[in-house]
Every structure is written in structure tokens, then in C-alpha cells.
Structure 1
């Protein structure tokens, strides 16, 4: 495809979105009925603000979902330390809840506007960001073109490019070059990611490592931790976290296989808590007794499963165990984040589909902090071995924690790449007189 045809294709995409704009309302209403949109804040998706824009320079940070939000928290705090206003947008209800729990009050949050010209124009007209920073790999054509037209630098940090995404973009290389070439800077997670972004037209591209390594360990309520620890007593535990459909059934199979031998308590933390009713029903059908965190159920001697059906409490559940299987790796694709359990000294298990965190798993497996399991049977054997072998479990726990420490440094590398863009904003922010509300 020639550059001219690629330009026409992107123009057609933009005008097609204009034509589809009247359908966006019913579409969001449908999603809200399924719990996938915040009904009370739906107008934010059309670019209408629900907060006042403060005086001074502002960086727009977009993090699609929970993992990306967690990754970028230290960077946003550093921007605020420099007196730069930060607006975070996310696209999911769970990420908005996480932002409410984990962010300081001076970091603003809005839902990201739809990638439609009226919504994006309205959003940019109001917020006037000086820089737009996206986390990981999302490319929204209308947004990219609108920012470029307004001469707003757009930077991708913690950027990664999955095998599937790279193949898809590479098949449309001329269109990719029209979009990726508009990025002012890409700060990639790995050398492989950097090479892929360059192949698609991005320049300049630097490498930082994974920002998720530089995040703090997830917090927890110490009183709740003490309460649950007392209820669990000396029972062996293991956790299946960030699970996708099908993996909860595997966790139930593992529990039933091992319960008679170990008195095991299984902790299940689904990636999407709204699925918890169906997960509980499946487990009850299999004869398991379930305690749910949202109900405040007590863990008794005959409780089989603690269902962690809340948002923002991963730190609690991981501190209740020393063995963590990370989901989206057996029945899902791409894998979940192994860094949080590793930094909290858990022995990490995962299925073979971990390409979204390939470098992290390679490091953890090489150092002995993680093991890859092929199927439910192998997972059950690994949980049994680790729960009954204190020395082997302790070696994995130590290796995982040490591996995370070795991988740190991505935040400093990212800030170094951003310096030409944020240093002028820091000077501007500190020279501008503050209002009474900002002082």
C-alpha cells in the first residue's frame, strides 16, 4: 500500500467514526448494563469533563487497564513531585476503582474518551495537555492523528509489542508507519520490543526495562491480614491469581486432588471480579465450600476456597500464601504479571502462555524463582511439591524476590528519556504563580 492510500485509509477511518458517533450512546448503554461501563460517568467517554482543569502544565497519561495503571503510578508521582499536573485516563471500571484506591488525591482521573473525532476534540479542547503519555501498546488512530495535528508530543512508555500485534501491524506496514511515525518517543520494555517499534516506523526508540518492576509491593490492610491469618491457622495455602475463564475450574481440580493429603486452603482471585457469582456456583457444584471476601465470610476448618472477589486487595491475598499461580497462562493468552507475587516472596507458577511478560518470566525461571507448568496435572504436582517441601519453596521465594531487585531501574531510564519533554514543564510549573487552591 502506498503512502497516499494509507493516508486515505486513515482518513476514511476517521470519517467512518464520525458517521458511527450517534451509535456510541446505545453501545455504551449496553456495556453499562453488563457492568463494563460506569453509568454515572458515561459522559466522560464522550469527552465531557467532570473535573476542573487546574492552572499550569498538564501531562495526560493513558493506562488502558489495571496492570498499566499500576505500572505508571511511580512515574505519575514523580511528575507531581515536579509540580506538573497529571490527568490519568483509563478504560475499565476496575482500573477506575484501582485509581480511587491507590492514587494520591492530586492525580486527576477521567475515563478515556472514545476514539471518535467529536469525543477526542472535545477532550483536547478542554484539557489542553502539554504532553500525552500512553502506557504499553495501545494505538488509537483518531487520537494519534488529533494529537499530531495539535503538535502535542505523544510518548509511549513501558511499550511492548506482542507477537500477534506485531504481525497484525506488519501486514499493514504503510498504515503502521503513518501512525507509529507520529510518536515523539517510544520507551520500550525490551530490545525485542524496541526493534519491533522501529520496524513499524517509530523513532527515536529507547529501552528502559519493565516499569512494573519499579512499583511498590501492593499494600494491604494489616488488621484484615491478621484476622485472616488467625482464621487460616497452620493450614497450607496456595493462590490462583488474575485467573481467566477456565482457570478457576483448574484451581478447583487442583484443590480436590490435594485436599485430602494436605488440608489445603485455595485462594482464587479472578481477573474480573464480576464473574465471581458464576465462579462460586461452579465450585459449590463441585462440592467445595466457598468463603467470599465481599461477604466477609469467616474461613473455617472446612472452608475449601477463599474467593478474592474485590478490587485493590491483591496485596492481602498474596500475603496469605507462599505459592502463587499466575493466571491467563493456561486457558488465556499472554499471561499475567508475575512481579507482584515475586516481590512479595511467593514461589511463582504459570502456564506456558506468558508472552506478555516474556522477559520477566525468563529472568524468574532462569534464577529459580518461577516454574512453568503445562497443564492442570502438572500444576497440582507443583503445588503439592512446594507445599510439602519447605526448603524448595524457600529457595524459590528468595530467588523470585532477588530477581525483581535485579530488574529494577526502569523508572530512572524512563525519566531520562522524558527529560527533554518534562524539564521545560517543571520550570514553567515552578515559575507560574499558584492559586490559593494549589498552594
Structure 2
């Protein structure tokens, strides 16, 4: 449809003016006879400039005005070719520069006055006849000019609509790019949390299995089994995240993302790996909506992952969750040496927690706690649990 519209515009620009001019020329040369007489030739000369009505409207209109001024001197009355003035007025109003639009109207009315006076010379009813001719010609002039001006206004309106549509299309494309970048950042945070937590658990379990391999082989086998389960679970969760990046639908159903209700299972997994963790929950975590529940889960997961990585041997941790009417309050404490461990610059856990909290306009604090150890405290607004 758009290709057809563009084709019609090209056809309208290139050939419509030629067609109009040729059609107007048919009348003096065919209707009045093939033989070229002086009057018929002058009619043709008046009409021919209309070929330029769109390409050079000022030149076209100026040529017609000069020829019409000469007509009032040479001929004693109107001629068929005078119709060129009406087409010229339309063209100058529709396609001419801004300064020429009103100049064309003034020139047309002035020409009507000159023609009315010149054609009435010698007539007994000079005043009445001249007035009648002037009103009639001025009406035709204004009508032709007004049609051109309306066409100009409509064309400008359509152009503004097209420009606005193009701007909206560009804005939509930019918004899509911003949304894509935000989604990639979100998935990157999820991937970091999954990989960091799972690998930290697996490293701790592997160290324990290596230590017990000689003295307690049965414990080493049990630990290796736990490592295997942790790795499989991590692969499943990573597959869920990577599935969001696929552009096709292969019919594979993806499991839901973890939520606050899954924190207990995560804590049990960490206990099985050797980390002593106490979990205290006040309120119903199942009432949280999915985004809030995922944020709470990831904050607790990241805090305990940091405990595994930096807490040192024999560390213990405590997780306290409180669901209030308008928020979820999280506090994760450990008694390890994480508060005194220098930052190696390789981790993004605290930054990831701050980014997650920023999405919900919440608060997060992370740092050494009084008496030793490390503390993560966060407040996640949760309007969905109100009431």
C-alpha cells in the first residue's frame, strides 16, 4: 500500500502538470480548428507556463501575469487562455514560497481590477459594468487562491502527521532498545546470583569431600552426591534464565523463578553443605508477589553466598525475615571474618543487591557488625501484602 502511495506521488508530481496543460491546450487547437490564428496562439502561450506550476510556481505565475497585462493592451476582451490565471493562482498558493502566497492573491485582485477597467472602456455603463466585472473576477480569483491555500494547509498537516508517526516509531524503537538493555541487565544479575551461589556451595562441599576422602570415604561420597545435586539444580535454574533469551518457542515448559517461599529449601541445602544457618520467619512469605519474592530470595542468597566465600571455617549465620503490612525486612548476620576481609574487586554481590533494591525503591545496608562478623540488612517495599 505504501509503495502504491509513493508511486502515485511521483506520478502526480511528474505528469499531472503536463496532463493538465495538454488538456487545456486541446480546446483552442481542436475545438476552434487546427489552423493557428493569432488569438488561438495567444491562448496557447498563456496556458503553456502551467507546465511549471509545481516545479517553478513563481516563474510560472509571473509569466502568466505579464502575458495577461499584455492582453489588456492588445485585445479588447477576455480570452479562453485567461483560465490559466485561475490555475496559476491555485499553484502559487499551494506550492509557492510563503512570501509569494499572499503576493499572488494581491496580484490576482489587482489584475481583476485592471481587466475590469480595460474591458469597460467606451461602454455606456462604465461604472456599473466595471463594478460587476470586478466583483465577478475577484470572486474567481479568491476562490482559486483559497482552494490552493487549503491544499497547502492540508499537505502541511499530512506532513506533520507523517513526521509525528516517524518520531513515534523512533521513540518506540528506542524504548524497545532500553527495555532490551534493562532485561539483559536483569538476566545478568540473575545469572551472577545463580552461578556465584552454586559455585560457592560446590567449592565448600568439594573442599570438605577432599578433606574427608582418606579418613571418612562414606562422607566424601555423600558430599559428592550433594555436589552433583547442587550442580544439576543450578543448571536447571540457568536454563530457565537462558530460555528467556531464546527467540523461538521449542515447546519446553520452563519452571517458575524462585520466590520467598523457596528460602527454606535453600537454607536446608546450605546446611547440608556444612554451613550452620538459623532461619527465623515472621509473617507469611507466600503472600508476596513474584517480583518482591524473587528480590527477597536473591538478597538472602547473595548474603549467605558471601558468608560461604568470606566467612572462613566454622562460621555460623542467622537469617531473620519479617513480613509487615507494607514491606519485608531482611537481616542476615554471620560471625565469620567477612567484615575484615579486604575487597578483591572480583565480586558484584553487594552491587547486585543495591540494584535489586533500587528497582523497588527500598533500602539496603551491608558491612561489618558490632562484635565481629558481617551483617546485611534490607527493607523491600511490598504494597501487595497490605491488609
Interval of TM-score (by shorter of Structure 1 and Structure 2): under 0.3
TM-score, normalisation: structure 2: 0.22
Larger strand fraction of residues:
1
TM-score, normalisation: structure 1: 0.20
Task: Compare relative contact order (CA 8 Å, sep 6+) and give the higher one, 1 or 2.
Answer: 1
Larger helix fraction of residues:
2
